[in-house]
Amino acid sequence: MITPLTTKLHPEGFNSPYYEVDGKRFYTKYHALEHCRSVGWEWPTFKVWEISNSFKRPKKNFKQSIKTQCEILSDTYKKVRLFYSGGTDSNLILHNLLETKSKLDEIAVYRRFPGVVDNDSNEFDQFNILDVIKKILAQYNTKVPVKFYDIMPEHFNYYSSRLDELFFPYTDLDFFMNGIHTIAEIYPTMLDNDFVNVLGHAFPYVNDNNEFYWNDGGFNHTQPDPYAVNFFCDSRNTDLAVNIAYSMRDYLQRHGKISNEINWANGEYKNFKPVRDILGFPNTGTPLDTKYDALNVDSVTTWLLQRKILVHMANAQKSEIGRQTFDNFVRFYQDYEGKFARYFNNRSIYNGWVGSVSEKHILLDV
């Protein structure tokens, strides 16, 4: 049922973000922190573009740098698979791949069913995102197969008894979250046919020292995902991330919100929305346009209260296998928190990892 994937599979030409501890490279935070403990290392280094650099405003604008990224994908890889959630990032990528007539061989969707299969526990079904995809494809008068990679109750139950070995190190911290790594273990044939897996997210952060950088949480901890390219932070096309960083800097400076301590995880996440609007990210006309599950309450940071997580936890309670899975998750998280509390915000696993910050790059034209 599960084919464990124990090594990082790299796409040609893309430098996958990684952690470094005492000269050793890791693609999961879990394993990096475990090595920190074993060798007495304080904290892992997180690297995205390896070497810090300085950047003037790119000659290519944001739209042009998006086109360049589409060309890189088409020219480098035999087949392109876009993982589409209906969020603004994957929606922009879909529109631009189609608009530029770039290579796109599959639109991939994964749904999570911890307890039962239903029609209202996944955002994709709740907000009828399949119709959104169909309308976009019709807009560009093209056809691209849409393939579903569902994680079923028996999959979650199997993982829940092996969380430390197979699941927890390779996912974001939230209950029942997963990346492509999990999908590839359940559906190993997706690794065939020379596909590259295209992901969104991974926006840069800016501070009042005219620097930009990445936080590992901004990647949804998808570093171990196989053959994955983060569309917005490809070192082969630095103009794209630099354009985003300048737009972020300009917006925050106009609104007096530059800070080294901006909490992008909850209420401050709303600042990404106007920057995406300025950059022309197309909307889907659904609640996913506004990142509806991110709490807009500054005093509450626990991921346990996010709407998406609550719905998945409720789904788990609808069957005996789901309830057993849920209990296994709770026991594991409580135990893990006791051992690794220093690595969590407020020493609580439900407040998320303390973020790992990447190398920093300087914005020269400010």
pLDDT along the chain (366 residues), means of 10: 93 96 96 95 95 97 98 98 95 98 98 97 95 98 98 98 96 94 97 94 90 94 97 97 94 69 45 83 91 65 88 98 98 94 94 94 95
pTM of the predicted model as reported, rounded to 2 decimal places: 0.94
Does residue 354 sit within a domain?
yes
Domains: count for the chain: 1
E strand or H helix at 55:
strand 54-55
Does residue 148 sit within a domain?
yes
Residue 2 buriedness (CB in 10 A; 0-12 / 13-18 / 19+): middle
pLDDT of residue 273: 79
Q: Which domain holds residue 323?
A: 18-363
DSSP 3-state assignment of 214? coil
pLDDT of residue 264: 44
- 334 vs 25: CA distance, rounded Å: 28
Write the DSSP symbol of residue 127: T
CA pseudo-torsion sign 247, 249, 250, 254:
positive
- Cβ-proximal residues to 237 (8 Å cutoff; 6+ apart), any chain: 65, 68, 69, 72
Q: Closest by alpha carbon to 325, among 125, 156, 162?
A: 156
Measured CA to CA in angstroms, residue 67 lies from 74, 102, 170 at distances of 11, 9, 31
Residue 21 buriedness (CB in 10 A; 0-12 / 13-18 / 19+): buried
DSSP 3-state assignment of 218? helix
Does residue 3 sit within a domain?
no
What is Dmax (Cα atoms) for the chain?
59
Does residue 10 sit within a domain?
no
Does residue 326 sit within a domain?
yes
pLDDT of residue 265: 39
- 58 vs 299: CA distance, rounded Å: 38
Residue count (the chain): 366
C-beta of residue 110 within 8 angstroms of C-beta of residue 148: yes
C-beta of residue 241 within 8 angstroms of C-beta of residue 23: no
DSSP 3-state assignment of 206? strand
As given in the structure block, the two tokens for residue 166 are: 């197979």
- Cβ-proximal residues to 119 (8 Å cutoff; 6+ apart), any chain: 125
As given in the structure block, the two tokens for residue 167 are: 């699941």
Does residue 242 sit within a domain?
yes
pLDDT of residue 299: 54
Beta strands of 158-285 (E only): which ranges? Answer: 195-199, 205-206, 211-213, 228-230
Q: Closest by alpha carbon to 154, among 183, 113, 122?
A: 113
Cα distance from N-terminal residue to C-terminal residue, the chain: 54
Does residue 7 sit within a domain?
no
Does residue 161 sit within a domain?
yes
